[in-house]
Structure 1
Amino acid sequence: MNSSLIRVFLPWFLLLVVGALTAALRFGVIEPSDMAHLCDGSASNPAWCQWRQWVVLGFLGYGYGWAALLAAAVALVWKRPFAAWLAAAVGLFALMMYCFEAGAFALLVGSLRLVRFQATAAPADENGQRDRQVQPQP
């Protein structure tokens, strides 16, 4: 596979992976009432209940929303593709973890910055142009 295609599609594929893992976390561990009953505060709780409690406290205190806003600000200031991808990934995680406004904003900022980086890194065509200027026919 062409390395330029990998550079284009890899960040978007990794965002899909982040979304799938976050959805599995939310719908498999956080939301089911059976999981909440397993972690009811008794001494016989499974070992992962403390971890689940920290995840729940993260969205109850809007921590993921603040992290998404911080990641979006970093992506706007630090003009690097990784910062853009990180803002999109943290925004997607926050969006799935009940921090809708900040998560959607960070996902949008990160995605737009990532598209911008990919557009400016696109190779020029045979005339040396990047389809930004229309040339008249001779």
Structure 2
Amino acid sequence: MTARLSRTLAPWLLIVLAGLAAVWLRYGLIEPPAMAQICTAAQVPAWCTLRQALVSGFLHDVYGIAAILVAALALLRRAPALAWLAAALGAVALQLYNYEPGALALLIGCLRLVHLQGAGKATARLTPAP
């Protein structure tokens, strides 16, 4: 029973962790004015390249587009991993300024994941016990 519960809860907890990681990136690395000042100084630290890549990603809607593409794939295939990835990318896109596509991908990914998890339980109930 606990193994089944942990398999069911694990994807949801990982979606929350993906969202929390995006929150940390946004409020810890992207938004603080001190970080922007450090990255515009004469000698730029190596992590400023990551910060600039993250900023370029949300300026060009990369996170939202990736989340929508994965959500579309999740609708076409019966793969829980794709549903999870769509929801996780949607959560990241929501935090990194791609609200509309991120919200749609998060919704599609979550609904698809619930559907696939429910279908697995229905199949297990239909199978006779040994």
TM-score, normalization: structure 2? 0.91
Number of positions where the alignment pairs a residue of Structure 1 with one of Structure 2: 125
From the CA coordinates, give the structure whose radius of gyration is larger: 1
CA separation in 2, counterparts of 1:120 and 1:77? Answer: 16
2:128 aligned with 1:124, yes or no?
A: no
RMSD (CA atoms): 1.5
Q: Note the residue ranges of structure 2 that are not aligned, 5 or more in a row.
A: none
Q: Note the residue ranges of structure 1 that are not aligned, 5 or more in a row.
A: 129-138
CA separation in 2, counterparts of 1:16 and 1:69? Answer: 18
User: Who is 2:59 aligned against?
Assistant: 60
Deviations 1:74-98 (A, max 9, x none): 1111211000000001111111100
User: Who is 1:136 aligned against?
Assistant: none
Secondary structure of the equivalent of 1:121? helix
Which aligned runs of 4 or more in structure 1 are off by greater than 4 angstroms?
none
Task: Give the letter aligned to residue 75 of structure 1.
Answer: A
CA separation in 2, counterparts of 1:86 and 1:19? Answer: 12
CA separation in 2, counterparts of 1:21 and 1:63? Answer: 17
Percent identity (aligned): 47
CA separation in 2, counterparts of 1:103 and 1:26? Answer: 15
Q: CA deviation at 1:121?
A: 1.4
TM-score, normalization: structure 1? 0.86
Task: Give the letter aligned to residue 13 of structure 2.
Answer: F
2:24 aligned with 1:24, yes or no?
A: yes
